[in-house]
């Protein structure tokens, strides 16, 4: 979108797909507005050049029209951030919408209703995509979080609306998650956590081709421990992934990747915020206890191993950080990354729970990049092409 000139934009109707799929509480208040704020630079850029901005997004996974999945609660925050009154349509296609689009002044913004209120959206129905396309003169995709979906508003519409270009957020996500990861300043370290190996296999395998150091934390480590013959008590283990864990350890060795598992863990007598806890060596978790965080020795070794790095990507927490008692490892890693960021290390937080963890630690502003994608970041880190990116004329990667 940065390549578009003022003459390309003045008075033009621009269909901007954003990802406003934000969490709402029971009173429909936004509980995390990160995605709304992340969408602002592209919208402002278009407004300032006199474009007529048509915003489209999904919210949740509604089956048909469902009031609690309306995008209406987004209007006040969007208006506040953009400094204009954002108008809201009751649908995303049809005559009423066409009238509202025709009434958008230069520099004005209209938010269309949840595009998933039409089942044709997820089916990527060509007729529906054509109707969306007919509303505008050009298409901007800034919905990185939805770029792994080949839906009508993220993919199909590009066939009928040219040019189709990437917004600033989309481009920034690609620059970091593809650019910095495939062409990193070395040494390059990845920290992968989260509860299950099964959901991170693709990411670990892909990163093993690129990194010098791989640190593993979170619930997935117990599958690795068990594969090495350690007693893991009642920790989470994916029995059907034991062989895979061994294979990944061997693969790291053969690639010369320094793969570190935590040397100690914080264990609990139950899965609860008020559980009794103690720190033990990774190889001696007693029966009846489960590991819920990495221990102080692991924090020290992990931190030291990161000292020499120039690029770090982090995906997945080190422990059950939702419980304060077991958030120490995750917070310590977040602090270490913040410290290294200050020293010029590129720090990339690759989506999902690790983003929530960094935000909980109050360190979000410190990182080089915090992804707004969950599934999209994961697929990109696995090396998969994203349909919403492939469909664009100008996105520089994937
Ligand atoms: C997300 O929150 O990951 C995106 O908005 C995509 O949502 P979806 O998983 O419902 O397609």
CATH number assigned to the domain comprising residue 255: 3.40.50.1260
Least confident stretch, 155-159, 176-180, 265-269: 176-180
Q: What is the mean pLDDT of the chain?
A: 95
Residues 174-202, mean pLDDT to the nearest whole number: 93
| 113 and 213, same domain (yes or no) | no
| 284 and 316, same domain (yes or no) | yes
| 193 and 329, same domain (yes or no) | yes
pLDDT at residue 398, as a whole number: 44
Residue 390 Cα to ligand 1 midpoint, Å, equals 18
pLDDT digits (tens, 9 = 90+) for 175-188: 999 988 889 999 99
In the predicted model, is pLDDT for residue 75 greater than 90? yes
pTM here? 0.91
Q: Does residue 19's CB lie within 6 angstroms of at least one atom of ligand 1? A: yes
Q: Does residue 146's CB lie within 6 angstroms of at least one atom of ligand 1? A: yes
pLDDT at residue 397, as a whole number: 52
In the predicted model, is pLDDT for residue 36 greater than 90? yes
For residue 285, what are the CA distances in angstroms to 68, 120, 257? 45, 51, 27
> Has 37 been labeled as part of a binding site?
no
Residues 139-153, mean pLDDT to the nearest whole number: 98
Please report which helix (H) or strand (E) contains residue 56, including its range.
Answer: strand 52-56
| 99 and 47, same domain (yes or no) | yes
More confident residue, 148 or 7: 148
> Has 148 been labeled as part of a binding site?
no
| 159 and 27, same domain (yes or no) | yes
In a domain, 388, yes or no: no
Total domains, the chain: 2
In a domain, 394, yes or no: no
Residue 102: give the domain boundaries: 6-166
Q: How far apart are CA 355 and CA 366, in angstroms?
A: 12
**Catalytic positions, written as ranges:** 35, 196, 352, 375
Residue 32: asked if its preceding bond is cis (omega within 30°), the reply is no
For residue 109, what are the CA distances in angstroms to 48, 126, 154, 225? 11, 26, 19, 54
């Amino acid at each position: 979108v940065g390549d578009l000139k003022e003459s390309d934009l003045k008075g033009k109707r621009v269909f901007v797909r954003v990802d406003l799929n934000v969490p709402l509480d029971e009173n429909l208040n936004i509980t995390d507005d990160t995605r709304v704020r992340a969408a602002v630079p592209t919208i402002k850029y278009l407004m300032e050049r006199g474009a007529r901005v048509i915003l489209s997004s999904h919210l949740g996974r509604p089956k048909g029209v469902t009031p609690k999945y309306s995008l209406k609660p987004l209007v006040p925050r969007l208006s506040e951030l953009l400094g204009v009154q954002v108008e809201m349509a009751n649908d995303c296609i049809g005559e009423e919408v066409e009238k509202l689009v025709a009434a958008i002044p230069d520099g004005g913004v209209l938010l269309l209703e949840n595009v998933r209120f039409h089942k044709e959206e997820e089916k990527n129905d060509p007729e529906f995509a054509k109707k969306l396309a007919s509303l505008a003169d050009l298409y901007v995709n800034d919905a990185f979080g939805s770029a792994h979906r080949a839906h009508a508003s993220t993919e199909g519409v590009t066939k009928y609306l040219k040019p189709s270009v990437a917004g600033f957020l989309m481009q920034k996500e690609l620059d970091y998650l593809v650019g910095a990861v495939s062409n990193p300043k070395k040494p390059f370290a990845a920290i992968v956590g989260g509860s299950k190996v099964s959901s991170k296999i693709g990411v670990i395998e892909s990163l093993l081709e690129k990194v010098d150091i791989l640190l593993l934390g979170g619930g997935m480590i117990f599958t690795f421990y068990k594969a090495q013959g350690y007693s893991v008590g009642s920790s989470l283990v994916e029995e059907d992934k034991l062989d895979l864990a061994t294979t990944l350890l061997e693969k790291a060795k053969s690639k010369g990747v320094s793969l570190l598992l935590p040397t100690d863990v914080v264990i609990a007598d139950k899965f609860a915020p008020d559980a009794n806890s103690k720190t033990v060596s990774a190889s001696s978790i007693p029966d009846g206890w489960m590991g819920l965080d990495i221990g102080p020795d692991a924090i020290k070794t992990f931190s030291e191993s990161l000292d020499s790095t120039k690029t770090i990507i982090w995906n997945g927490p080190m422990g059950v950080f939702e419980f304060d008692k077991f958030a120490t490892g995750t917070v310590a890693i977040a602090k270490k990354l913040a410290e290294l960021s200050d020293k010029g290390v590129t720090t990339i937080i690759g989506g999902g729970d690790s983003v929530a963890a960094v935000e909980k630690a109050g360190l979000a502003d410190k990182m080089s990049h915090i992804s707004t994608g969950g599934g999209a970041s994961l697929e990109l880190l696995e090396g998969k092409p994203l349909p919403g990116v492939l469909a664009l004329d100008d996105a520089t990667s994937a």
